[in-house]
């Protein structure tokens, strides 16, 4: 029979009811194919890409098969976050059956877990190290275990947990049902399955194309030294509600978080170097929307299910195609559409091509948005965030002290303007006469020119003034105000000399950049 609805499974009404409450309308393909086999007691190897509902695929049969108050099911999973997430999902599935589920993982005081286990837990979800720890202390007994699940098995393999897993399995009864779920199926996993599973059925819903087609994928080319600035441009342009940004290492996570915060973004990091408490707090804040940008390593983000992730950004291109698929699978989950951006340095083209080959899709190029393109967006982004703050009661003592201090010397309007400029990253310009303010203070005998070079070209006002004075042979003191932005600058020159500047300066090489000069557009 072809399974089209959860009601087609031979499961308890209480579970059906709970699944409806969870908002599931129909089983996903991996669920349709594995749940009947699992209910019949068979060992199953299930392969499906990330975000396809593998948790419920084993969670529903586990809850269905629970018959007593004893510990009957053990789920082994690579990370603490996953353990918590899976425990939550099983709790939800079992809510009308009142199933007791406990996540156990390193970093949490073991005594608390021991007390938890003693309370009559029916399902344990844990990380390999901590499970083994309990087994060796004899604070966990697997004698009555009927079901063991190895979830995200490929990841556990990569993390070097195989020995621990084999060790754990030796504590569980031979008669158990063993279930293995994974997004990829390297040979080592198949070998493990052969050794520890009983005539398993292999179910794969991986198609020749392994990415979710609803994810739009683009890449940006950016030199390593420009990456942070370029990322900010992209963020300002895309205005993600919630974005997950991947970095190669813990260190890069920390440094990117800091760089983003300096620039006024609400960002936090997630990686293996944090304590469990810190990680939980970060995740909670991200879920609640208190953090807009979550910067993470692959391991820390593995399997996290975060609602409404609008963007996944690979600040660093992933090491291999599989992890690319895993990463971008974080967005566009359960049919929602999402966008994935990947930054590559010029040397990483080959890497990107290799990924495209595996996913059998083209990842299209996008150009880093210009400051002009993002300025408007940045304004509305800032506006949105200011509104949010304005709605809140302000009780930050440092800020209040600063305000009191400043208001003794300046008007509130002046203070507000300065603070806004700071938010805009516009604090190191001499004049506020940039693309945002009106041009009312422009002298009428001067014209404003747009130059395609800026801070990223390591150019300062002195350089510009000097080059123009020399290049167009006009006196340096005839040059008016100069505003330098990251990627472009404005310079005022006397109207009667502007033609000369154009003719003599257009197309010259300045600091390694071919100069383009245009009359500045009058922006309102
Ligand atoms: P995987 O383990 O395959 O990466 P998850 O089990 O974490 O995926 O599921 C991803 C998301 O999809 C979760 O939020 C889960 O609650 C949801 N989900 C699972 N099954 C269904 C379903 N049949 N219909 C709708 N949403 C589902
Ligand atoms: Mg999973």
Which CATH number fits the domain that encloses residue 50? 3.40.50.300
Mean predicted confidence (pLDDT) in 208-216? 58
Ligand 1, atom nearest to 307 Cα? 14
Atom 18 of ligand 1: nearest residue by CA position: 53
Query: For the segment 449-470, what is each residue's pLDDT rounded down to a tens digit?
Result: 888 888 888 888 888 888 888 8
More confident residue, 438 or 520: 520
- Of 298, 333, 368, the one marking the end of a domain is 368
Cα 152 to ligand 2 centre (Å): 6
Query: Is residue 81 in a domain?
Result: yes
Per-residue pLDDT, 1: 58
Cα 57 to ligand 1 centre (Å): 9
Cα(381)–Cα(368) distance, rounded to whole angstroms? 18
Residue 409 half-sphere exposure toward CB, CA atoms < 13 A: 5
Least confident range of 158-172, 424-438, 467-481: 424-438
Considering the domain architecture, whether residues 500 and 452 belong to the same structural domain is answered as: yes
Per-residue pLDDT, 332: 65
Q: Per-residue confidence at 164, pLDDT binned at 50, 70, 90?
A: very high
- Of 135, 170, 205, the one marking the end of a domain is 205
Ligand 1, atom nearest to 49 Cα? 3
Mean predicted confidence (pLDDT) in 67-80? 95
Per-residue pLDDT, 435: 36
Considering the domain architecture, whether residues 327 and 460 belong to the same structural domain is answered as: no
Considering the domain architecture, whether residues 355 and 377 belong to the same structural domain is answered as: no
Cα 116 to ligand 1 centre (Å): 27
Which ligand has the shortest distance to the CA of 79? 2
Per-residue pLDDT, 390: 85
Q: Say whether 474 sits in a helix, a strand or coil.
A: coil
Domain region containing 390:
370-424
Cα 326 to ligand 1 centre (Å): 14
Q: Per-residue confidence at 303, pLDDT binned at 50, 70, 90?
A: low
Considering the domain architecture, whether residues 437 and 298 belong to the same structural domain is answered as: no
Per-residue pLDDT, 391: 83
Residue 88, pLDDT > 80, answer yes
Per-residue pLDDT, 429: 47
**What strands, in cross-sheet order, belong to the sheet with 311-314?**
267-270, 293-296, 243-246, 311-314, 338-344, 215-221, 364-365
Cα 457 to ligand 1 centre (Å): 47
Atom 5 of ligand 1: nearest residue by CA position: 53
Cα 89 to ligand 1 centre (Å): 9
Considering the domain architecture, whether residues 30 and 99 belong to the same structural domain is answered as: yes
Cα 293 to ligand 1 centre (Å): 23
Atom 9 of ligand 1: nearest residue by CA position: 53
More confident residue, 519 or 374: 519
Residue 486 and residue 459 in contact, taking contact as beta carbons nearer than 8 Å: no
Mean predicted confidence (pLDDT) in 464-489? 84
Return the best residue to mutate from 50, 56, 91 for the ligand 1 pocket (most ligand atoms within 8 A of CB). Answer: 56
pLDDT averaged over every residue in the chain: 85
Residue 214, pLDDT > 80, answer no
Which ligand has the shortest distance to the CA of 326? 1
Per-residue pLDDT, 426: 64
Which ligand has the shortest distance to the CA of 57? 1
First to last CA, the chain: 66
Per-residue pLDDT, 47: 92
Considering the domain architecture, whether residues 394 and 452 belong to the same structural domain is answered as: no
Spatial CB neighbours of 356, under 8 Å, sequence gap ≥ 6: 362, 363
Return the best residue to mutate from 53, 85, 182 for the ligand 1 pocket (most ligand atoms within 8 A of CB). Answer: 53
Mean predicted confidence (pLDDT) in 284-311? 81
Per-residue pLDDT, 369: 84
Considering the domain architecture, whether residues 94 and 50 belong to the same structural domain is answered as: yes
Cα 28 to ligand 1 centre (Å): 8
Atom 1 of ligand 1: nearest residue by CA position: 51
Per-residue pLDDT, 245: 96
Return the best residue to mutate from 6, 21, 47, 55 for the ligand 1 pocket (most ligand atoms within 8 A of CB). Answer: 55
Per-residue pLDDT, 502: 80
Query: Is residue 169 in a domain?
Result: yes
Mean predicted confidence (pLDDT) in 113-133? 94
**Interaxial angle between packed helices 321-328 and 349-359, expressed in degrees from 0 to 180 and rounded to the nearest 10:** 70
Which ligand has the shortest distance to the CA of 19? 1
Considering the domain architecture, whether residues 459 and 512 belong to the same structural domain is answered as: yes
Per-residue pLDDT, 335: 55
- Of 205, 236, 255, the one marking the end of a domain is 205
Most confident of 275-279, 402-406, 519-523: 402-406
Considering the domain architecture, whether residues 392 and 314 belong to the same structural domain is answered as: no
Q: Per-residue confidence at 87, pLDDT binned at 50, 70, 90?
A: very high
Per-residue pLDDT, 209: 43
Mean predicted confidence (pLDDT) in 84-113? 94
Cα(77)–Cα(421) distance, rounded to whole angstroms? 47
Ligand 1, atom nearest to 28 Cα? 23
Per-residue pLDDT, 440: 35
Ligand 1 residue neighbourhood (C-beta within 6 Å): 24-25, 27-28, 31, 48, 50-56, 89, 303, 305, 333-334
Identify the residue whose tokens are 């559409």.
337
Q: Per-residue confidence at 333, pLDDT binned at 50, 70, 90?
A: low
Q: Please tell me the pTM assigned to this model.
A: 0.51
Query: Is residue 93 in a domain?
Result: yes
More confident residue, 201 or 459: 201
Cα 487 to ligand 2 centre (Å): 42
Residue 73, pLDDT > 70, answer yes
Phi, psi of 335 (to 5 degrees): 85, -10
Query: Is residue 289 in a domain?
Result: yes
Mean predicted confidence (pLDDT) in 434-459? 65
Residue 432, pLDDT > 70, answer no
Which ligand has the shortest distance to the CA of 47? 1
Mean predicted confidence (pLDDT) in 270-297? 87
Cα 244 to ligand 1 centre (Å): 18
Mean predicted confidence (pLDDT) in 372-396? 77
Query: Is residue 210 in a domain?
Result: no
Query: Is residue 1 in a domain?
Result: no
Mean predicted confidence (pLDDT) in 28-51? 92
Domain count for the chain, please give it: 4
Atom 19 of ligand 1: nearest residue by CA position: 53
CATH number of the domain bearing residue 510:
3.30.70.330
- Sign of the C-alpha dihedral, residues 309, 46, 158, 217? negative
Most confident of 52-61, 237-246, 461-470: 52-61
Cα 151 to ligand 2 centre (Å): 6
Considering the domain architecture, whether residues 16 and 64 belong to the same structural domain is answered as: yes
Which ligand has the shortest distance to the CA of 156? 2
Q: Per-residue confidence at 45, pLDDT binned at 50, 70, 90?
A: very high
The b/e string for 203-215 (b: 16+ C-beta within 10 A; e otherwise) is bebeeeebbbeeb
Considering the domain architecture, whether residues 162 and 260 belong to the same structural domain is answered as: no
Cα 54 to ligand 2 centre (Å): 5
Per-residue pLDDT, 336: 59
Atom 22 of ligand 1: nearest residue by CA position: 24
Mean predicted confidence (pLDDT) in 312-324? 87
Most confident of 172-176, 389-393, 475-479: 172-176
Phi, psi of 50 (to 5 degrees): -65, 145
Atom 20 of ligand 1: nearest residue by CA position: 53
Return the best residue to mutate from 9, 46, 334 for the ligand 1 pocket (most ligand atoms within 8 A of CB). Answer: 334
Considering the domain architecture, whether residues 417 and 523 belong to the same structural domain is answered as: no
Query: Is residue 12 in a domain?
Result: yes
Ligand 1, atom nearest to 31 Cα? 23
Residue 131, pLDDT > 60, answer yes
Per-residue pLDDT, 273: 82
Cα 53 to ligand 2 centre (Å): 7
Which ligand has the shortest distance to the CA of 48? 1
Report CA Rg, the chain.
29
Identify the residue whose tokens are 């304005």.
390
């Amino acid at each position: 029979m072809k399974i089209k609805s959860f009601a087609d499974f031979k499961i308890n009404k209480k579970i059906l009811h709970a699944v409806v409450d969870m908002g599931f309308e129909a089983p996903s393909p991996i669920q349709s194919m594995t749940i009947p086999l699992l209910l019949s007691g068979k060992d199953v190897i299930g392969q499906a890409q990330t975000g396809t509902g593998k948790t419920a695929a084993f969670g529903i049969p586990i809850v269905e098969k629970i018959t007593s108050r004893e510990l009957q099911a053990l789920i082994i999973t690579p990370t603490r976050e996953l353990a918590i997430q899976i425990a939550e999902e099983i709790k939800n599935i079992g809510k009308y059956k009142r199933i007791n589920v406990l996540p156990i993982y390193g970093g949490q005081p073991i005594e608390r877990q021991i007390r938890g286990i003693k309370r009559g837990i029916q399902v344990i979800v844990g990380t390999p190290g901590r499970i083994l720890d309990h087994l060796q202390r004899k604070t966990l007994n697997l004698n009555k275990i009927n079901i063991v699940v190895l979830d995200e098995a490929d990841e556990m393999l990569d993390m070097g947990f195989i020995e621990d897993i084999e060790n754990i399995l030796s504590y569980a009864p031979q008669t158990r049902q063993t279930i293995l779920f994974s997004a990829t199926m390297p040979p080592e996993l198949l070998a493990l399955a052969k050794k520890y599973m009983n005539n398993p059925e292999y179910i794969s819903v991986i198609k020749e194309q392994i990415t979710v087609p609803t994810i739009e994928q683009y890449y940006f080319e950016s030199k390593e030294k420009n990456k942070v600035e370029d990322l900010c441009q992209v963020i300002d342009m895309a205005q993600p509600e919630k974005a997950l940004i991947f970095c190669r290492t813990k260190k890069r996570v920390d440094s990117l978080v800091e760089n983003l915060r300096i620039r006024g973004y609400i960002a936090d990091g997630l990686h293996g170097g944090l304590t469990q408490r810190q990680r939980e707090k970060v995740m909670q804040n991200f879920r609640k929307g208190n953090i807009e940008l979550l910067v993470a390593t692959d391991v820390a983000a593995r399997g996290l299910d975060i609602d409404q992730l609008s963007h996944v950004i690979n600040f660093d291109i992933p090491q291999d195609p599989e992890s690319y698929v895993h990463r971008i699978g974080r967005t566009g989950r359960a049919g929602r559409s999402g966008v994935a951006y990947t930054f590559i340095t010029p040397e990483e083209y080959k890497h990107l091509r290799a990924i495209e080959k595996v996913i059998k899709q083209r990842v299209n190029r996008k150009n880093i948005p210009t400051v002009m393109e993002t300025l408007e967006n940045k304004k509305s982004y800032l506006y949105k965030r200011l509104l949010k703050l304005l709605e809140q009661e302000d009780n930050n003592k440092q800020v209040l002290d600063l305000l009191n201090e400043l208001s003794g010397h300046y008007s509130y309007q002046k203070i507000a303007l300065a603070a806004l400029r700071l938010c805009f990253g516009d604090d190191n310009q001499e004049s506020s006469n940039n693309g945002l303010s009106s041009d009312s203070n422009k002298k009428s005998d001067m014209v404003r020119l747009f130059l395609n070079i800026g801070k990223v070209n390591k150019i300062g006002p002195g350089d510009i003034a000097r080059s123009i004075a020399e290049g167009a042979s006009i006196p340096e003191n005839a040059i008016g105000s100069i505003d330098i932005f990251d990627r472009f600058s404005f310079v005022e020159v006397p109207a009667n000399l502007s033609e000369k500047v154009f003719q003599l300066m257009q197309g010259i090489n300045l600091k390694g950049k071919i100069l383009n000069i245009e009359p500045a557009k009058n922006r309102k």
